[in-house]
Structure 1
Amino acid sequence: MTKAEEFEQLRALLFSIAYRILGSVSEAEDAVQETWLRYEASPAPHTSTKSFLSAVVTRISIDVLRSARFRREEYVGQWFPEPLLTDPYEDPARSAELADSVSMAALLLLERLSPLERAVFVLREVFGFGFAEVAAAVGRSEAACRQLAVRARRHMDAGRARFAADRREREELADRFFQAIREGDVDGLRTLFAADVQMIADSGGKAPLWGKGIFGVENVSRLLAATIAPFVRIGGVVEAQEVNGQPGAIFRDRDGRVVNTLTLDILDGRIQTIRAVLNPDKLAHLGPVADAWSVVRETNQARHPSD
């Protein structure tokens, strides 16, 4: 088997590792490409190609994350990971860990960890690497990696919700939600939300935004009903699908261009958090991006046709 063939067999795994460390589709793709260049240039055969490439992409991702931390500190408004529609790596033996770790909520929890803790957690807890492989990947002793894993696991467990919905319940609730917002059904929306529901968006200062967030059943219900129904009337499309392994949607304008993505955190039978990504820089990998300002203006005109 050639180097290129070996690499292609592992590309999905490498991307999935990098995305969980970085929270960015574009940066993960760049890390995978850099991994290939280093692998192509490496002269010696490797005992385990999987271990070698996983270590390389992890080190690259750690370096990128360290520099990205400074950019994120200066980011305008709330920072969310770039939305991921499909995780290319599948492993039935670790399906639960893989699905949980790619959610927006989990990726935001990972942001609280140091780059080393994050890398160790991803390799060990998500992908099931042995501590010897983890230690080789991050350049620390096995004992140090065990300590990093314990700290990371403690932080992650402390931040996780205690009551998660099962898949069928999530899908049924999401279906009702998307039907209600398309129809502008305020009463229907009220029945779906937790009392402390919140709607938060990441615009990066490059798209329209509703302040620091919308909070509470009444405010969230009324805003969604008042904006999504007229958006649909002007030809906008709410394309329901999984985003980061959660119920979500891509919003498109009448020409099919991406306006934003949306994900739902569903806990204990209610929608707890709605997260929208509007920053056009984080949507480009999904296809052509709409002019969100123009879409909002047209939507507002549809809400107030006499103005």
Structure 2
Amino acid sequence: MSKVEEFEELRPLLFSIAYRILGSVAEAEDAVQETWLRYDASSTRPVSTKAFLSTTVTRISIDVLRSARVRREEYVGPWFPEPLLSDPYQDPARSAELADSVSMAALLLLERLSPLERSVFVLREVFAFGFDEVAAAVGRSEAACRQLLVRARRHMEAGRPRFEADRQERQELATRFFDALKNGDVGGLRNLLAADVSMVGDGGGKAPQLARAVMGAEQVARLLGTVFPLMSRIDVTFEPHEVNGQPGAIFRDRDGKVLHTLALDVLDGRIQTIRGVINPDKLRHIGPVADAWAIDREVKRARRQTRR
């Protein structure tokens, strides 16, 4: 098998490791590309190509994350990971762990960890690497990696919800939610939301976004049931689509350009959190991006006309 063939076979795994460490599709793709360049430049073939490439992409991702954390501290408004529409790495034996680890909620919990804790947690808990492999990848002893994992688990468990919905329940609830949204059914929306539901948007200062999180079933239902019919009038549409392994949707303007994504967290039979990503920089990997400011102006114009 040639170098190119070996690398391409492992590319899905390398991207999935990098994305979970970085929370960015673009940065993960860059890390994978840099990994290939280093592998291609190597004059010797490693004993284990998987170990070599996994170590390389992990170390590159750690370096990128350390610099990215400074930028994220200066980010305008809430920071969310770049939406991932499909995870290229599949492992039937670990499908539950893989889906859970790529959710918006899990990635936001990972943001609380140091780069080393995050990398150890991803390699060990998500991809089931042996401690010897983890230690080699992050350049620490096995004992140190065990301690890093203990701390990482503690942080992750402290933030996890007590109740989790199964995949079928999540999907059924999401179908009802998007049907109610399409119809502007405020009552229908309200019945699907947790009493303390929150709706938060990530515009990064580069697109219109909520001034603050909208809290409570009544407030969120009224906002959604009012705004989407206005968006429909200017030909904004949406297509339900899995986002970060959770139920969600992609919203598009009349030309089919990507306006934003929504991802739903479903807990205990209700929608607990609605996260929207509208920052255009985080949507370019999905397709051409809509002018969110122009859409916002059209929505406001439609609202004024409705009130006349």
Q: TM range, normalised to the smaller chain?
A: over 0.9
Equivalent in the alignment of 1:290: 290
Q: 1:28-177 counterparts in 2 under 5 A?
A: 28-177=28-177
Equivalent AA in structure 1 for residue 37 of structure 2: L
CA deviation map 1:148-175 (0-9, x unaligned): 1111111111111111111111111101
TM-score, L = length of structure 2: 0.98
Corresponding residue for 2:222? 222
Aligned partner of residue 247 in structure 2, secondary structure: strand
SS in structure 1 opposite 2:241?
Answer: strand
Name the residue aligned to 1:236: 236
Q: Which runs of 4+ in 1 moved over 4 A?
A: none
Listed one character per residue, the Cα deviations across residues 169-191 of structure 1 (whole Å, up to 9, x for unaligned) are 11111011111111111111110
Structure 1: how far apart are the matches of 2:157 and 2:96? 15
The alignment's C-alpha RMSD in Å is 0.9
Aligned amino acid, residue 71 of structure 2: R
Q: Which amino acid aligns with 1:286?
A: I
Corresponding position of 1:278 = 278
1:225-278: CA deviations, max 9, x gaps? 111112122211111110000000000001000110000000000000000001
SS of the equivalent of 1:132 reads helix
State whether residues 226 and 303 of structure 1, in contact with CA within 8 Å, keep that contact through their aligned partners in structure 2.
Answer: no
Tell me, what secondary structure is at the counterpart of 2:197?
strand
Deviation at 1:31, TM superposition (A): 0.1
Give unmatched runs, 5+ long, in structure 1.
Answer: none
Rounded to whole Å, the distance in 2 between the matches of 1:37 and 1:118 is 25
Contact 1:35 1:53 in 2 (8 A): yes
Residues 165-204 of structure 1 aligned to structure 2 (within 5 Å)? 165-204=165-204
Question: In 2, distance between residues paired with 1:172 and 1:47?
Answer: 47
Cα distance in 1 for partners of 2:120, 2:55 equals 11
Gaps spanning 5+ residues in structure 2: where?
Answer: none
Partner of residue 302, structure 1: 302
2:60 partner amino acid: I
**Distance of 2:26 and 2:49 partners within structure 1:** 24
Q: Is the 8 A contact 1:197 1:271 kept in 2?
A: yes
Aligned-partner Cα distance in 2 for 1:181–1:5: 46
Q: Which moved more, 1:295-304 or 1:84-93?
A: 295-304
Q: How many residues align?
A: 307
| 1:21 alignment counterpart | 21
The alpha-carbon deviation at position 301 of structure 1 amounts to 2.3
**Whole-Å separation in 2 of the counterparts to 1:269 and 1:133:** 39
Deviation at 1:207, TM superposition (A): 0.7
1:305 offset after TM fit, Å? 1.8
Structure 1 CA distance for aligned equivalents of residues 47 and 119 of structure 2: 22
Identical-residue share of aligned pairs (%): 73
